[in-house]
Amino acid sequence: MTQTVVILLGAPGAGKGTQAVRLAQALGMPHVSTGDLFRANLAGGTALGAKARGYMDQGELVPDELVLEMLFDRVAQPDCGLGYLLDGFPRTLAQAEALGQRLGENHPTVINIEVPDSAIEKRIVERRTCKDCGSIFHLTFHPPAKAGVCDQCSGELTQRKDDTAEVVRTRLQEYHAKTQPLVQYYSSRSGLCTVDGQNAQEEVFDACMACLGRRMEVRQ
Ligand code: AMP
């Protein structure tokens, strides 16, 4: 059976993480976030975490070879057998090429969530993440019912170390230089859907689901 592979592209703070959780749940497939995998390695004090830390703290991309090994290990797990949803990967042409080689004729479904740079800083600086379950909140657009406490699991809400105004600038530069070219890359190969990430969360979700429905119909 063909694996279904979904890729969410978009700048940091475009809402990939929030949509990825919901889409993965709706599609019944694992959500594979390379950022989350790195953060788990940092928290676990692994050698990979130690190598990635400096890049992440500065807002730079981790070198491709470290990302690829970690990602391919993850998607080789049995729960990814029927497919998986990628959030934060690929982020460079080399990563896209490596994934393409692995998938062969099985083209991924690619959704590009677009948000202008002018809106990104506020989205990122006010983002808060649950330490325990990873749920994402925003102090203005999606505040928790009780300040500092996760609505889902009552865990503590924290700010990611790289979610500061200074680091955001580097992350955006990295995005434009290395990741944005993937929009053209996938448009000219398998095609992709672009979704307006400035709409309400629910609308963005519906637009992503509509895109997935169309793409999967075309492939059948
Ligand atoms: P994210 O949670 O997706 O915003 O990722 C947080 C940080 O992890 C990024 O700023 C990078 O330093 C690193 N990272 C995550 N995914 C990748 C990737 N595919 N390639 C290179 N670095 C990555």
From CA 6, how far away is CA 111, in angstroms rounded? 8
What is the token pair recorded at 40? 């788990």
Ligand 1 contacts CB of residue 62 (under 6 A): yes
Catalytic residue check, 16: yes
Q: 98 versus 134: which is more confidently predicted? A: 98
3-state secondary structure of 163: coil
Question: If you average pLDDT over residues 70-85, what whole number do you get?
Answer: 97
Third-level CATH fold of 4-29+82-213: Rossmann fold (3.40.50)
Q: Which of 74, 127, 178, 215 is catalytic?
A: 127
| Banded model confidence at residue 41, pLDDT cuts 50, 70, 90 | very high
| 147-161 pLDDT per residue, tens | 999 999 999 999 999
Is residue 193 within 8 Å of 214, Cβ to Cβ? yes
Domain segments of the chain as ranges: 4-29+82-213
Q: Separation of 163 CA from ligand 1 center, angstroms?
A: 12
| Banded model confidence at residue 84, pLDDT cuts 50, 70, 90 | very high
Distant-in-sequence contacts of 65-74, Cβ < 8 A, 24+ apart:
67/34, 67/91, 67/95, 68/95, 68/98, 70/34, 70/37, 70/38, 70/41, 71/32, 71/34, 71/37, 71/95, 72/102, 74/32, 74/37
| Banded model confidence at residue 218, pLDDT cuts 50, 70, 90 | low
Catalytic residue check, 127: yes
Catalytic residue check, 214: no
Q: Is the pLDDT score of 122 beyond 60? A: yes
What is the token pair recorded at 216? 């999967």
| 4-20 pLDDT per residue, tens | 999 999 999 999 999 99
Ligand 1 contacts CB of residue 59 (under 6 A): yes
